[in-house]
Structure 1
Amino acid sequence: MRKNLDILHFSLHGLIRGQQLELGRDADTGGQCLYVLELVKALARSEQVDKVTLVTRRVFDTKVSDDYSVAHEDLGNGASIRRIEAGTRRYLRKEVLWRHLDAFIDGTLAWLRSERRVPDLIHAHYADAGYVGRQVAAALGCPFVFTGHSLGRVKLQRLEEGGIDPEKMKKRYNLAVRIEAEELSLEAASMVCTSTRQEVEEQYSLYERYAEESMRVIPPGVDLSRFDGDGNQEALASVDAKLNRFLTDPSKPAVFTIARADERKNLTGLVRAFGENEWLRENANLIVVGGTRQTLKQLPSGARKVWSELLQLIDDYDLYGVCAVPKEHASDEVPEFYRWAAQRGGVFVNPAFTEPFGLTLLEAAAAGLPLVATNDGGPRDILANCKNGTLVNPVESADIGKAIEAILSDPTHQKELAETGGRNVREFYSWDAHVNTYLEELSRILPKEPRIHEQGSRQLLTRSESWVVMDLPPALENESDELVDRWREFFRNGDHGMIFATGLSYDESREVVERLDMPRPAILVTGLGSEIHYGWKTPIKDEVWEKQARYRWDREATLEAALQLPGLALQPEDRQHELKISMTLEGDDHPSRTTIQRQLREAGISAKVMISSGCFVDILPIRSGKDVALRYLQMKWGINPASVYCYGTYGNDASVVRGRNLSAIASDADPILRRLRDRPRLYRCKQPGLAGFFEGIEFYGSDEGTPPPLPDESYTSEDEQVPAIEINP
């Protein structure tokens, strides 16, 4: 195993800082945030790791702490948090972050280049980070690891089982976008980290690109040191005061739970279980820590609904004096809630409908609490290893109540379970054990030698400070002589560097440029991002890029799988490329892009499928594409995205015109481009062709090569209602 590793972990949503995590503040600031932070800190303690960074979103918002606006936070031992600006500066829930993720990619690459840094590995957590991480890894050419934490297909399945309108939920939670991002992350990942076998067999197996050979089950770690000794006496006293005010007899055994006020956590099910069980009402106290709140009105709608139901149930069952629902708690009080319950011979309950991880169960076991937990996901493995409790069906409140009663009514048994769990959790779930297994698995996918940041010399490339990226004009012969001459003159003095990015082959592209006397590009990107050449008279091929683009590419297997679908035909041989398969859609019953993509995924093939002009199909390596090639160039040559003007006409330009570039879309562009959502750096031209090209140039005022600054994107109620983006490969 190599030493001196440099690892990036991406976890975008929620609020993350080095200390005093605001767990339970909202649905996005929960166990994942704590897990990733503690993993980063634990990795930094390993002798094999030199540098590890948690990359998250930078937030400037008066409603949250200034801590989240700090760009760099040192965690010690080579660990740090790096916050990247992306889109609006406000704090946003994860469902509306999608439209800002391309800007996050560009911001991350700019930061890495400023540090001349190419990490050995990128590990992304959750679908949004997967969208970012896989593309950063593709631009840098480093291995990519993915952890889904909770999965969109599983969420959709649970909602449908609960009788909830799936179409309504897809729109509310942006599930279609999330699921496609997960599929793409699974395609790109060299390794997928899971917590349990159940995740692999019952959750990831729902995906088209499920590949068991890439799955690695690594039991999660927990900071057990927080539960050693007598704890924080000041914090324990604060917890005691917060709970005693609710309880007639605080000495009774505690039925304790801590979770976000989220419907899937099923806190209402636990209250029903307690309220319907006569023995529990007489002999125990119920402690529900469901995040923090000042008033119900100030809570997000989902949390407000849960709390309204909880308080109604407490009243219905008349649980006053035996049920505590504290309104707020500090981060350092969390271990003391567990300790308080353990001191009273209590039990911890996780009644969630679905629980992929189960961090609170590990904390409870470490604190000395027996467990009653949902028979779903992580709890199955945790209780199998810790042997300290009972699994229950979360929809059967009576069964939950009986399981709790069985433990608390037998103090000897309760103590035995507590001691067994405390011992086993330290054997199976310490951070040291987790990190050792994690690094051992990484050794199987890491290259033998570290990547070195290759920084090209701008003097060797061009003196241009402003860049234009566009495809070869589709109908230059039909443009007016005046527009064509103006276009040529625009590039003549070298102030603006030209990058042609086209689907044509290298030889065919050169022939078209020469024949039509187009401006000679400084960089020619051909085969939809498969190849990059520098210069015109004595062109130089970028061999490093070609090697990166070949990642997981098997042209013969890909072609064989695609041709099994009716309605697909190969384009002529001169349109083919070693790193690109070009086809056309034929007949009225031809397959959609998603059908072709699904066919390849089910055949175990990692590739991108693009459709342009409604009939041309291109299949590319998973790490190829115009957008990835452009980001590679920006990283290598130090090109600021704000100095790049992208003019989009074809469907395969969709991912190019997002992000921090200055982008314009021709009035006659492919429909997929015209469907993209508005943003400050995406201009919709009223004219086609070269007229639209100059319309965009004039809009940005960059005739003199001075692009406008990146504005703060406005955030309105529309962001909460309209699907964020259409995911393209």
Structure 2
Amino acid sequence: ILIDVSDTKNISAAVNKILDTDKLWKEFSENGMKNVKKYYTWEAHTKSYLKELEKLVAEVKDKSDTFAPVGRKLLDMKKLIVSDIDHTLLGDDNSLRQFNTLLNKISPEIGFAVATGRTVDSAFEVLKKNNVTLPIVIISSVGSEIYYNYKSELIYSTGWHAHIKHQWNRGKIFELLKQLKFLQYQEEENQREFKISYYTSDKPGNLQKVNELLLNNKIKANIIFSHGQFLDILPYRASKGKAIRYLSYRWNIPHENILVAGDSGNDEEMLKGDLMGVVVGNYMPELESLKDTRRVYFSKKNYAGGIIDGIEYYNFLTNTKGDFSE
């Protein structure tokens, strides 16, 4: 019997019909008792539940089988080299070849990672195109995403995702910033779940206006300006530097055993603090304020040559205890 569940008269008529018709009553009663046992007993419930659970376990097992070797490698690592990609790692073919040679010779206890403003797909593509030794970790989209690399299969860090989503309201921020006409929304391929990106100028006061608008609306966010034109809004827990410190904690690699290299404003946070910072010679003016900062080395050499110079300056490959001091 088909009825309209929103029509009480229709329901009453159907119930009366069943009660008044012995054949229908008997048929529906028997079907009811049979199907209650089939679908609604505890045994039926547990069978259905376990069947669905088996599917989930199979999916997780596939991921864990892939991730386990990466996890073991990271747990065995004592040190980590982290580099920005554009204008730091890339920019000079000769010094890049030298850096690749260096990576292929170093101890497996020293890992290599990249931290970039690019999306993970763009980062992976440009690294392969330039024959760069592929990193074990890719921090992408200005630190809003972390991926582990296992034989060119990228594994998204759900732990980082869970950590940075706290108090993040992308829709509200997007609507608020429409008020600021000096912001131009970047192409859709540059937008991410935890990153809103704009083009803007370095006109004095622009960043302050963005910051004030968010603060006045009680929004906590990380505002990152780089290369004189790119503005990224991230969760307040996210950035390249915070992602590196998360990896340090997650895989028990001490801060003082991590060397980071960059060239622009979106690298500033990861260069400061107790990491071994290297600013390549072709750096942007945004990093000028870091001069004379402890543990930030300004190389005279450009691009990957600056990274190699920084590695030598800190004696990073041979100083296994990470006890460098100036």
- How does the TM-score come out when normalised to structure 2? 0.72
SS where residue 142 of structure 2 aligns?
A: coil
Q: Does 1:698 align with 2:306?
A: no
Deviation at residue 536 of structure 1 after TM alignment: 3.8
2:163 to 544, 548, 552: 548
Deviation at residue 572 of structure 1 after TM alignment: 1.2
Q: Distance between the aligned counterparts of 2:301 and 2:73, measured in 1?
A: 36
Which aligned pairs between 1:16-55 and structure 2 lie closer than 5 A?
none
| Corresponding residue for residue 596 of structure 1 | 210
1:459 to 69, 72, 86: 72
CA contact (8 A) 1:462 1:522 kept: no
Greater helix share, structure number: 2
> What do the CA deviations read for 1:382-417 (whole angstroms, capped 9, x no partner)?
xxxxxxxxxxxxxxxxxxxxxxxxxxxxxxxxxxxx
AA partner of residue 685 (structure 1): S
| Corresponding residue for residue 673 of structure 1 | 287
> What do the CA deviations read for 1:363-396 (whole angstroms, capped 9, x no partner)?
xxxxxxxxxxxxxxxxxxxxxxxxxxxxxxxxxx
Q: Does 1:567 align with 2:182?
A: yes
- Give the 3 Å change call, closer, same or farther, for CA 457–578 of structure 1 in structure 2: closer
Q: Distance between the aligned counterparts of 1:621 and 1:703, measured in 2?
A: 34
Q: Distance between the aligned counterparts of 1:503 and 1:567, measured in 2?
A: 21
CA contact (8 A) 2:79 2:257 kept: yes
Deviation at residue 519 of structure 1 after TM alignment: 1.7
Q: Distance between the aligned counterparts of 2:215 and 2:89, measured in 1?
A: 38
SS where residue 77 of structure 2 aligns?
A: coil
SS where residue 656 of structure 1 aligns?
A: helix
Q: Distance between the aligned counterparts of 1:535 and 1:562, measured in 2?
A: 35
Q: Distance between the aligned counterparts of 1:707 and 1:688, measured in 2?
A: 28
Deviation at residue 656 of structure 1 after TM alignment: 0.7
Deviation at residue 622 of structure 1 after TM alignment: 1.0
CA contact (8 A) 2:88 2:304 kept: no
Between 492-501 and 548-557, report the one with greater CA deviation: 492-501
- Give the 3 Å change call, closer, same or farther, for CA 591–679 of structure 1 in structure 2: closer
CA contact (8 A) 2:90 2:96 kept: no
| Corresponding residue for residue 34 of structure 2 | none
| Corresponding residue for residue 365 of structure 1 | none
Q: RCO greater where, 1 or 2, for CA within 8 Å and sep 6 or more?
A: 2
Deviation at residue 461 of structure 1 after TM alignment: 2.6
CA contact (8 A) 2:70 2:149 kept: no
- Give the 3 Å change call, closer, same or farther, for CA 535–705 of structure 1 in structure 2: farther
Q: Distance between the aligned counterparts of 1:694 and 1:486, measured in 2?
A: 8
Q: Distance between the aligned counterparts of 1:503 and 1:670, measured in 2?
A: 15
Which structure 2 residue ranges, 5 or more long, are not aligned?
1-68
Q: Does 1:487 align with 2:102?
A: no
CA contact (8 A) 1:700 1:708 kept: no
AA partner of residue 553 (structure 1): W
- Give the 3 Å change call, closer, same or farther, for CA 519–549 of structure 1 in structure 2: same
| Corresponding residue for residue 687 of structure 1 | 301
Which aligned pairs between 1:96-111 and structure 2 lie closer than 5 A?
none
CA contact (8 A) 1:648 1:664 kept: yes
> What do the CA deviations read for 1:606-637 (whole angstroms, capped 9, x no partner)?
21111001111010011111111111111110
AA partner of residue 270 (structure 2): V
Q: Distance between the aligned counterparts of 1:708 and 1:462, measured in 2?
A: 17
- How does the TM-score come out when normalised to structure 1? 0.33
Deviation at residue 493 of structure 1 after TM alignment: 4.0
| Corresponding residue for residue 469 of structure 1 | 82
- Give the 3 Å change call, closer, same or farther, for CA 555–499 of structure 1 in structure 2: same
| Corresponding residue for residue 226 of structure 2 | 612
SS where residue 601 of structure 1 aligns?
A: helix
Deviation at residue 601 of structure 1 after TM alignment: 1.2
- Give the 3 Å change call, closer, same or farther, for CA 658–622 of structure 1 in structure 2: same
Which structure 1 residue ranges, 5 or more long, are not aligned?
1-455, 714-729
Q: Does 1:632 align with 2:261?
A: no
Q: Distance between the aligned counterparts of 2:297 and 2:172, measured in 1?
A: 40
Which aligned pairs between 1:303-322 and structure 2 lie closer than 5 A?
none
Which aligned pairs between 1:293-312 and structure 2 lie closer than 5 A?
none
- Give the 3 Å change call, closer, same or farther, for CA 561–663 of structure 1 in structure 2: same
Aligned length: 255
| Corresponding residue for residue 18 of structure 2 | none
- Give the 3 Å change call, closer, same or farther, for CA 550–662 of structure 1 in structure 2: same
Deviation at residue 458 of structure 1 after TM alignment: 5.8
- Give the 3 Å change call, closer, same or farther, for CA 473–703 of structure 1 in structure 2: farther
CA contact (8 A) 1:521 1:536 kept: no
Q: Distance between the aligned counterparts of 1:701 and 1:617, measured in 2?
A: 35
- Give the 3 Å change call, closer, same or farther, for CA 672–702 of structure 1 in structure 2: same
CA contact (8 A) 2:186 2:199 kept: yes
